[in-house]
Amino acid sequence: MKKRLLVMVLMVFLSSCGRLEVEEEPESQSIKLTEAFGGLTFERPLYITFLEEVAYVVLQKGQIYSIKDNQAILFLDISDRVYSKGNEQGLLGFAFDLDYLNNQRVFVNYTTQSETNISAFVEGQETILLTYEQPYSNHNGGHLDFGPDGYLYIASGDGGSSGDPHNHAQNSESLLGKILRVDVSQDQLKIPDDNPFGNEVYALGLRNPWRFSFDSKGDLYVGDVGQNKVEEINIIEMGKNYGWNVMEGTIPYSGDVNDAFERPIYEYSHQVGQSITGGYVYEGEKFEFLKGSYVYGDFVSGTIWALKEGQNSILLETNINIASFGKDEAGELYVVDLNGKIYTFEKD
């Protein structure tokens, strides 16, 4: 199935009270989504990544498939230890070791019935590196990726329910509602010496940072799923506090807005979408007009945008439940539909 839509530029400005004003302006470029990998279909795919020109698709129930020449081959199956009955539970994150071609080591983030495990696998053998409790079935975060500093970064949600009732996100001693950073260069996990709170926590005050990414400059972009009013995009810096659950984006939630909290670089209201899926800064060659734009979407509305220098452009309106974006080694982008398909961007 192919989806063709003319790119429309949607210029959105934040007023002083944090509400959204909308103005539309047409853009001459156009773009479409095309089924990738010969239209292969998977059961509840959540993520796609690439290594050595091979794609790897992560399924919620605990399988990872490699794809080459439009053929899917089982790469890793940990479904016997993954608990995925909740909509936000399962095998949520996957990353290759930086020296994978020599050590065959991979990392996963998955839920059991009451915990999150960060584990390393070598030839099917598991080493659990980090475990932390999940008091509810939602807001598990899940993404894994290596930063330019060589450390493994982990997205951790606030532990769930509604409104962060246990105030995990503002507690620097809790691993919930955070971006974590750990050293996995050896067999056992270590905490980097310069982590700001003396534990695994790198930054705090996040609700459910489902997907994040680094651009070529090393900036860490996070799409943080909102509560009642807004979805937000943050650039994460070490030791900074991004406000949840005192703030939801730029809006007071359970307390007064103050200068102790970092503001998002962009937010949109729930009239526009209700569950942000973080993406990537586009650094490919297919679309000159997209270069340097942060491409992201919304799981509920299916809208895909490009954000650059404060200007937000609608790329596509789709009926896709956008679980994730992917980026291949050439810098080209993919879209993962929870309903089974993987799409790639093409010129219309």
Render pLDDT for 187-196 as a digit per residue (tens, 0 to 9): 999 999 999 9
Backbone angles phi, psi at 237, to 5 degrees: -125, 150
Percent over 70 (pLDDT), the chain = 92
pLDDT at residue 333 in the model: 99
Cα 23 to Cα 13, 26, 280, 298: the distances in Å are 9, 10, 24, 19
Complete edge-to-edge strand list for the sheet that includes strand 178-182: 144-146, 152-156, 178-182, 201-204
pLDDT at residue 36 in the model: 98
pLDDT above 70 (res 10)? no
Which residues 6+ apart lie within 8 Å of 283 measured at CB?
215, 216, 291, 292, 331
Q: CA 190: distance to chain centroid? A: 24
Asked if 42 and 73 touch (Cβ cutoff 8 Å), the reply is: no
CA distance 32 to 288: 15
Q: Tokens for 53?
A: 């020109």
CA distance 193 to 15: 41
Q: Is 325 exposed, middle or buried (0-12, 13-18, 19+ CB in 10 A)?
A: buried
- Ranges of H-type helices in 49-187: 100-103
Closest CA to 64 of 124, 73, 121, 327: 73
How many beta carbons lie within 10 A of that of residue 146, not counting itself? 16
- Residue 4 banded pLDDT, cuts 50, 70, 90: very low
Alpha-carbon torsion (140, 142, 148, 150), positive or negative: positive
Q: Where are the domains of the chain?
A: 1-35+271-348
* Cα 19-335-264 angle, rounded to 5 deg: 25
pLDDT digits (tens, 9 = 90+) for 77-116: 999 999 999 999 999 999 999 999 999 999 999 999 999 9
State pTM to two decimals. Answer: 0.92
pLDDT at residue 11 in the model: 36
CA distance 147 to 183: 11
For 261-277, what is the mean pLDDT?
A: 98
pLDDT above 60 (res 5)? no
For 111-122, what is the mean pLDDT?
A: 98
- Long-range contacts from 272-275, C-beta under 8 angstroms, 24+ separation: 272/20, 272/231, 272/298, 272/301, 272/303, 273/231, 273/298, 273/299, 273/300, 273/301, 273/303, 274/226, 274/231, 274/298, 274/299, 274/300, 274/301, 275/225, 275/231, 275/299, 275/300
DSSP SS3 for 223: strand
pLDDT above 90 (res 170)? yes
CA distance 183 to 46: 25
For 279-293, what is the mean pLDDT?
A: 98
Mean pLDDT of the chain: 93
pLDDT at residue 26 in the model: 34
CA distance 253 to 18: 13
pLDDT above 60 (res 304)? yes
